[in-house]
Structure 1
């Protein structure tokens, strides 16, 4: 692994030093940065699958209680990502320009600023947790579990924020391996903790020997506790590595101020606020989708939640490649290399479209098995399979929008993509979903989503080709 990291560092040094790169070197560097990022994203999805499968085994109401608030948890999750990215993109630019001291200065300021932000967000989440299920139109039978799940999630948002910040900083410095391994480790921890927290004590028999397997029997809230405990442990590990061992960004033995300065904050706001708005737009639309789906019944809510989780197996590789695109484009922008920026942008976007297109084919064929892993309830399985097979056709264009967005973030161009997402989701997806749901039910909601994702991918490809996002070079 160390040899691989040295090769990656050597190729990244070519960007900073202004040296030419062959197409083979560009492809190799893209793959070396993308592969660990994709693994990290997939491990995150595996963790969601495990949560869904474990809770799904408890019945439809337990599944629906998590599904009801899942879009709101993604909203808060996205705001934490935006907060971290506002600083990590600055670090990528400074590393690309060879200003390592400046990169560490931004890192110190980001630790304080994002921690304060996440504490405020946690307070907001806990304050609304009691009323949230009713606001979302969920059945009264799932209000208690849904509220408790969201409250636990909100309480530990600072740990999630530090996880995102440390991982993002390491990735922008070119270190994809450590965040990737941390993601896998978090998945394993989540499995183990959920195993003991979700289910009650039960008797097992192995090779004729019976024994009691201990368990807390906390159900949906146990899934939340297992996940946040894993997040706390991994956040501590990542922060320690970043602080003491990162070749580029370690702070140990170095003096510096942690108070956020106006310059870094303004840049973080300029990058992060459009991203935050974009997450609000997307998650707000997902919440509205939940409101549209909620009257269709508990089975529809659970199936919609499972299908969204299952589909993420396809699109998370796109987010991994988008992370690599942000790093590559960010360092190229910092180094002032316009032609190389264009090359990496196109390589990453087309790679993402190819991989997610292939994943879409697999999702179509194996939809029954995928949904079957999450729930034993036949009505939920049928609805979930239908949703996945509709969505499979949109995966290549969805990839185009995901990875192109990562490119634009690396260029600190986030406002226009935010507006594009706003128009696409609210004008196309929600209007079509509201139109089709009364007659087609959950099928109509997912047809609307498929059409919108294809439209969104098209407009992102057009913006990528016009290259106005490279105005900073």
Structure 2
């Protein structure tokens, strides 16, 4: 990463290794997270459709909370990446210290709030009354360590803004492996397994879905502690010796970026909650199929989100260095690369959808329904890759207003209203809801492509900070 004021000439060939150097650790981290999500879903799926539905019924609330917190991280990413690009390491460290203040306040707020509403969330989500009690118990345990989860999200983003994507990757891998190990010990009863002529007894707490939630909660605590330690030990942006009391100058700049992004993520994630609640109302089979399909699909967005992190950091760095040519070369390199990767991932998803779904359930109705919707969305993946990258570069520049408008418009005007009409008025099922979701993604492709082709996506160049 260029952290001095002297511009450096870049070509696409020279830019590629820089992009991949930042992207691959994020991709590996997300791959591990997705692999563990696969394992979690499969392990809970052994308990039956009821357990899968109980866990999945409130899963979209995770997006609502996590994405709202992540928006704060985006504000710090833009500020710190731009500061380092301008060669102002001291300003970057001061911003890193302010992220500590935000983590403490935000983490404590969400811890209290989510424990107060844990029994209401399944009701709001229109969860089948039969599974509401289990869904509420799972939710309450999972969200108890919100302070630690907040630290993981925001400190991880700050480290990536400094070009350190490996530390969040290493800690993410630790968290995921710990989660899997604890799942084996907490979900199932004590049991004996045969390995050749030997019988091995594996201890188990037999806590079922509560065990799955507890395993995740303990892993989150470890992740929060580990990333905080690494953050404070970082040579470039450690907040040691810095004042963590509120600095209005820094926080106001961070919030200029974070607030539109936060409103966007809150509004779109709330849309996911409403979307999921309408699917839950269709029935247990639709809920299970939707949960499994979301889990399977998430693995195939890894190239997109990994590249977005790289694009955001490099765009912010180019902004700070006032290097418009580097920004242009970045965009012309990363966009075709992203489309190519998403074509490959979409093709693989289309081909292997039924095999992947069968990893999580043996219910033939769920398998059939989840396979259909996955093959539908696989066709749209290359289109979705374009807005992911353009939005990432705009975040790095601090331009978050247009993405806010586009995402809210797509979520509420296309996905939510469309799904309401299809499922509530016409009595259609899960397939129609996912068709509306694809329509949402296509709209984002059109709107963000307009931003890019018109040049408006970098209109804030040299006007922030």
Could you state the TM-score of these two structures normalised by the residue count of structure 2?
A: 0.95
When the two chains are superposed, the root-mean-square deviation of aligned CA atoms in Å is 1.6
Corresponding pairs, count = 459
**How many Å apart are 1:251 and its aligned residue?**
4.0
Q: Is contact 1:73-1:153 (8 Å) kept?
A: no
Please name the residue that 2:232 is paired with: 243
Q: Distance in 1 between matches of 2:411 and 2:252?
A: 28
Please name the residue that 1:275 is paired with: 261
Q: Map of 1:41-440 to 2, 5 A cutoff?
A: 41-244=30-233, 246-252=234-240, 255-437=241-423, 438-440=426-428
Q: Any gaps of 5 or more consecutive residues in structure 1? A: 1-11
Q: Any gaps of 5 or more consecutive residues in structure 2? A: none
Q: Is contact 1:95-1:103 (8 Å) kept?
A: yes
Q: Distance in 2 between matches of 1:250 and 1:113?
A: 15
Q: In structure 2, the residue corresponding to 1:379 is in which secondary structure? A: helix
Q: Distance in 1 between matches of 2:3 and 2:151?
A: 30
Q: Distance in 2 between matches of 1:297 and 1:31?
A: 43
Q: Deviations over 1:274-331 (max 9, x none)?
A: 1111112221121121222122211110110111111111113211110111110011
In the superposition, relative to structure 1, how do residues 165 and 16 fare at CA in structure 2: closer, same or farther (>3 Å)? farther
Q: Deviations over 1:131-161 (max 9, x none)?
A: 1111111111111111112112221111111
Could you state the TM-score of these two structures normalised by the residue count of structure 1?
A: 0.94
**How many Å apart are 1:60 and its aligned residue?**
0.7
Which runs of at least 4 in structure 1 moved beyond 4 Å after TM superposition?
Answer: none
Q: Distance in 2 between matches of 1:393 and 1:440?
A: 21
Q: Is contact 2:103-2:150 (8 Å) kept?
A: yes
**How many Å apart are 1:109 and its aligned residue?**
1.3
Q: Distance in 1 between matches of 2:137 and 2:453?
A: 46
Whose helix fraction is larger, Structure 1's or Structure 2's?
A: 1
In the superposition, relative to structure 1, how do residues 23 and 14 fare at CA in structure 2: closer, same or farther (>3 Å)? farther
Q: Is contact 2:94-2:239 (8 Å) kept?
A: no
Q: Distance in 2 between matches of 1:431 and 1:142?
A: 27
**How many Å apart are 1:451 and its aligned residue?**
2.0
**How many Å apart are 1:68 and its aligned residue?**
0.9
Q: Distance in 2 between matches of 1:97 and 1:156?
A: 37
Greater mean deviation of Cα atoms: 235-244 or 365-374:
235-244
